[in-house]
């Protein structure tokens, strides 16, 4: 209510009333009676977002296309935040350093604002970050310090950045770096020295680029070449030579070390192979699940089956593109007899549950679609309705509404093990 009083000057948030349940307000979603999702886009909100920093259980915060302004306040208390969208506002000041405390963050969008200063290296602490959008601001300085191995969506165009694009970011398209006049390196033009006008006073004929060390042409700055110092000991030169016996001893030692290392590696991998064969496919599934929890998506987009598949939505279901599902941050919820279930958070903050029928035998396309048509028509108060499905040669996906009220395991054991 403090945020509404300060920012909602046109009373767009009419459902925000102290006499009603805050979890029923427009743009608010709660989890266990705590505000976990706040999406207020295009409402002409103004002022600061400081009052919202008290919502310590926020998972999603989207305030796109408003007129919020001023520096971003300290967000270090929002350690549960996974999606932060502040684009198309009037924020100013430097890059918010408190973002580094949000170690669960997947998506960060600060584009189309008035931020300035350098992009700090503390961003590298966000090891799960998949999206970093900083375009159309006034950021300056280099980006060579950025090292975000999980990054999938990146854009710093329309700033004042300088220097060479690091190799770790050179795989992004040219459009991610354009409109930065002093930025160079793949995928932009190669970094080269910039020639100056030799007729200008004080010009030496060429000025080094920001990437080239400047070497003064003044005679006083050139170090004087000194003659080599002769050794006072006449036997010094001969002492530096290695005798044939020492060379043989070194070779034998290297061979022994290599043999020991090879034996250790053989024993280690042999034992691992035996353990895997003893556990069967169960061990590989567990390992796969562990990887998926920290990856960007449980559905590998490079598989050939995706080229032939398509998303099929049932009547009344909210539609989205397959690419949106592939980009979604996913967390494994559990495994059952028909596949693995994931919680997927889309870019717009909506949450769906996806069941991946990776190892299930579902027959051909026609048989699969017939089964899905039957499931899609089911309507019961105790059954979660099927919203969409996807069929390809190597992937079968079922999409449901996400139910945040736990599962059978939680009800039996009383442990909230999902996010």
Give the torsion through C-alpha atoms of 197, 200, 201, 202, to 10 deg.
-10
CA 80 to each of CA 62, 76, 148, 323, 382: distance values in angstroms, whole numbers, following the listed order: 14, 10, 20, 25, 30
Q: Residue 98's closest CA among 110, 89, 87?
A: 110
Residue 358 known to bind ligand: no
Residue ranges covered by each domain of the chain? 2-191, 284-413
Pairing type for strands 386-391 and 83-85 reads unpaired
Q: What is the DSSP letter of 380?
A: B
What SS3 state is found at 186? coil
Adjacent-strand bridge partners of 108: 84, 132
Sign of CA dihedral 224, 230, 236, 241: positive
Spatial separation of the C-alpha atoms in residues 326 and 320, rounded to whole Å: 11
Spatial separation of the C-alpha atoms in residues 74 and 368, rounded to whole Å: 51
The fold for domain 284-413 equals: Phosphorylase Kinase; domain 1 (3.30.200)
Are the CB atoms for 66 and 49 separated by under 8 Å? no
Q: What is the longest distance spanned by two Cα atoms in the chain?
A: 99
At 82 the pLDDT is 92
The fold for domain 2-191 equals: 3.80.10
Asked whether the domain spanning 284-413 has the same topology as the one spanning 2-191, the reply is: no
Spatial separation of the C-alpha atoms in residues 192 and 6, rounded to whole Å: 51
Spatial separation of the C-alpha atoms in residues 378 and 315, rounded to whole Å: 12
Provide the whole-model pTM.
0.52
For 414, what's the count of Cα atoms within 13 Å in the CB-facing half-sphere?
0
Adjacent-strand bridge partners of 318: none
At 155 the pLDDT is 94
DSSP secondary structure string for all residues of 295-364: SS-SS-TTSGGGGT-EEEE-TTPPP--HHHHHHSEEEEEEEETTEEEEEEE-TTS-EEEEEE-SS----S
At 411 the pLDDT is 62
Omega before 187 within 30 of 0, i.e. cis: yes
Reading the chain (419 residues) residue by residue, the pLDDT tens digits are: 999 999 999 999 999 998 899 999 999 999 888 999 999 999 999 999 999 999 999 999 999 999 999 999 999 999 999 999 999 999 999 999 999 889 889 999 999 999 999 999 999 999 889 999 999 999 999 998 999 988 889 999 999 999 999 998 988 999 999 999 899 999 998 887 644 444 444 444 333 344 443 333 333 333 444 444 444 444 444 444 567 777 888 888 888 888 888 888 777 666 555 444 444 433 333 223 222 222 333 444 433 333 346 678 876 666 677 767 777 777 777 777 777 888 888 776 778 888 887 655 666 777 777 777 788 777 777 778 788 888 777 777 888 888 776 666 656 655 444 44
């Amino acid at each position: 209510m403090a945020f509404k009083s300060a920012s909602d000057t046109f009373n767009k948030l009419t459902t925000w009333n102290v006499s009603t349940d805050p979890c029923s307000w427009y743009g608010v979603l709660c989890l266990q009676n705590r505000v976990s999702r706040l999406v207020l886009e295009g409402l002409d909100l103004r002022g600061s977002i400081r009052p919202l920093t008290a919502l310590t259980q926020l998972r999603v915060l989207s305030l796109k296309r408003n007129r919020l302004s001023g520096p971003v306040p300290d967000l270090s208390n929002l350690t549960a935040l996974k999606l932060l969208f502040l684009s198309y506002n009037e924020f100013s000041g430097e890059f918010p350093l408190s973002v580094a405390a949000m170690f669960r963050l997947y998506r960060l969008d600060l584009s189309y604002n008035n931020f300035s200063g350098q992009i700090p290296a503390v961003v590298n602490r966000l090891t799960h970050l998949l999206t970093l959008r900083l375009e159309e601001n006034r950021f300056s300085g280099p980006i060579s310090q950025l090292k975000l191995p999980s990054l999938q969506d990146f854009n710093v165009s329309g700033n004042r950045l300088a220097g060479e694009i690091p190799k770790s970011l050179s795989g992004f398209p040219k459009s991610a770096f354009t409109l930065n006049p002093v930025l160079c390196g793949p995928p932009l033009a190669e970094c080269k020295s910039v020639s100056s006008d030799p007729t200008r006073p004080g010009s030496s004929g060429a000025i080094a680029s920001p990437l080239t060390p400047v070497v003064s042409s003044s005679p006083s700055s050139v170090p004087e070449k000194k003659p080599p110092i002769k050794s006072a000991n006449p036997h010094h030169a001969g002492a530096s030579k290695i005798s044939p016996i020492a060379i043989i001893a070194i070779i034998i030692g290297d061979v022994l070390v290599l043999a020991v290392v090879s034996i250790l590696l053989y024993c280690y991998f042999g034992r691992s192979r035996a353990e895997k064969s003893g556990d069967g496919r169960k061990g590989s599934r567990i390992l796969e699940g562990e990887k998926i929890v920290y990856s960007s998506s449980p559905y590998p987009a490079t598989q050939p089956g995706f080229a032939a598949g398509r998303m099929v939505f049932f009547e009344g279901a909210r539609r989205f593109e397959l690419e949106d599902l592939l980009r979604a941050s996913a967390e494994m919820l559990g495994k059952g007899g028909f596949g693995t279930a994931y919680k997927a958070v889309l870019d717009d903050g909506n949450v769906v549950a996806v069941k991946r029928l990776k190892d299930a035998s579902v027959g051909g396309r026609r048989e699969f679609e017939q089964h899905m048509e039957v499931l899609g028509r089911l309507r019961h108060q105790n059954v979660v309705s099927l919203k969409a499905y996807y069929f390809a040669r190597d992937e079968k996906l079922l999409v449901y509404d996400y139910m945040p009220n736990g599962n059978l395991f939680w009800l039996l054991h009383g442990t909230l093990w999902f996010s």
